[in-house]
Every structure is written in structure tokens, then in C-alpha cells.
Structure 1
């Protein structure tokens, strides 16, 4: 009964104030509710886009994060420009306590889903193998600190046995035929 109004208002407000920035044609513009990610060719263009966003309303002023070590956080990823490529890896804010449902809680399906999805996210948001290894290590540390010792060993054994059984397997492809 009832719907939260804040996300709807945030989306509609952001749609209004982002219109001039989109006319400016940045190289990349991403937004999730009120978090924006803008890539421009020069720092001056980024500053101009930021100025445009902040000039739309006298009551609301946006902030921006500066890159640390060439990495810029956006939602649950860190982004870095490497040459002409965008490199990403999994990210957790410094204020995040990394607390998930503990292994000894009485929620078996929820526990499996939380840990599985944490590892899935750590793997899928990364663009390179080094970033993927770092993200999986971070997920492993979070799971370990929440009591998932046996679960991690069992999962590792299952994944390695599946990978070894698939090495010699042929992959079948199905293509639709239009006549």
C-alpha cells in the first residue's frame, strides 16, 4: 500500500536538470537515480558539464568525486580510463562494514543466494583478469569474515570440478533458421 515518492521525484528532477548536459554531448553519460557518471574529452568539458548540472536549481547542489589512483567510483564499480579502454572492477565504499547474513544464521537459501550473488557481481563487473582476481579476493574476505569457511571450500571444489569436466566438452550452438 503506497509507493515511495522520493525515487520517483529524484528521477524526474534529474531528468530535468540533465537535459542541458545531454545537449552538450559528453562522450559517456550514465545515471542511476541521482548518481551521474560523465566522461568528456577534456577536464574543461567535465567542469562545464558539472557547472551546467549545478546551475539548474538554486536549492540543490550536486557534488563530485575526484579519482583516487586513477580510479573513479560509480555505484558498486570503480572505473579507470586506460588508453582508449574503460577498465572496471568491483567497489565497496570505505564506510561499508562488509556485514552480510552470518553463516550460522537460520536462513539457508538466503545465505547461499547472498554469497553466490556477491561472487557473481565481483566476477561480472570486472573487465580484466587482474581486476577480477582482486574483486574475487575482496568477496572471499567478506565471506570469510562472516563465517563462510566451509561454504567457500565446498564452492571452490564444486567450481573446479565443473571447470575440469567442461574442458574437453564440445559446446553446442543452436542457431535459428529463417526460411
Structure 2
């Protein structure tokens, strides 16, 4: 029961400190789950994140669920998921109570403009960290370039992009192994 409570607390704190969605939380999750508690390796975290991108729901919650499941099975998945959801529910309720009355205030508009900039930096930080761990050879660079072009130049669904990465990765690495 103590480890379930720890999962809940950790993901509640991650959820409370994360603004900007799943991408913005990757850096905090990496520091917390990988470096501090050693509940997953960096590779596992990236795998959970990739799978979370392809499955229905919010990436951050899916990732928390995967980590909780790895640590404590079904009960761990539930504890981590509820932990991550709790702060969001509280914050959304508070914001919805006040937002309608104050959304047009210059102070609120400027605060949200600053928050968007901060979230952009967090997402960029996550991209740099993921890139350093993911782009490790010529094959991964080819996959990166291929998907980057598709993502930037087309409106292809992220699910198709991730599945395409898997297919291209399999083909490139399988071909290299067969040589």
C-alpha cells in the first residue's frame, strides 16, 4: 500500500507542476521517474511516450499509467493515473470558476502569453533530450529526417507518423542485420 501511495504522490506532484500538456512534462518525468526513483529507464520512458502517443487519451496520463503498471501492476496503474489526474481536476475547476469573469483582463492575457512561452521552452528542452537519446546513428537520423519532413510539410496524423517510424525503423535495422 505504501508503494501505491508513493506512486500517487509522485504523479500528483508531477501533474501539479506540469503546465502545457504531455510534451512539456517529459523533462520533469525524465528527472523524476528515471533519475530520482529509477522506476523506468530513459529508453522505457521514450517507449511509453511513443505508445502513449498512439493510444487514445492524453499522452501524459497514458505514460503515467504505463509506469504505474510496470511498478505495481493494475493497482499501480490506477494509483499513478489518479495521482496525475487529481491536480488537473482541481486546477480546471478553479480556473473555470474564475476564468469567465477575468479572461478579458490584460493581466490575465499577459500571464497566459508568458505561460505559453515557458511551455514552449519546456517542450523544446524535451525535444533536445529525446533527440540526444534517439538519434544515435545514420539510420535513426534518416528516420528523424523522414518524419520531420512529413510532420512539417503535411497534415499527417501523429499516429501515422509514429507507426511509420516503426515501419521504417524495422526496415532499416532489419536490412542492416541481414547484411
User: Do Structure 1 and Structure 2 share a fold, with TM-score over 0.5?
Assistant: no
**Per residue, is there more helix in 1 or in 2?**
2
TM-score of the superposition, structure 1-length normalised? 0.25
Q: Please tell me whether Structure 1 or Structure 2 has the larger radius of gyration of its CA atoms.
A: 1
TM-score of the superposition, structure 2-length normalised? 0.25
Structure possessing the higher relative contact order (Cα contacts under 8 Å, 6 or more residues apart):
2
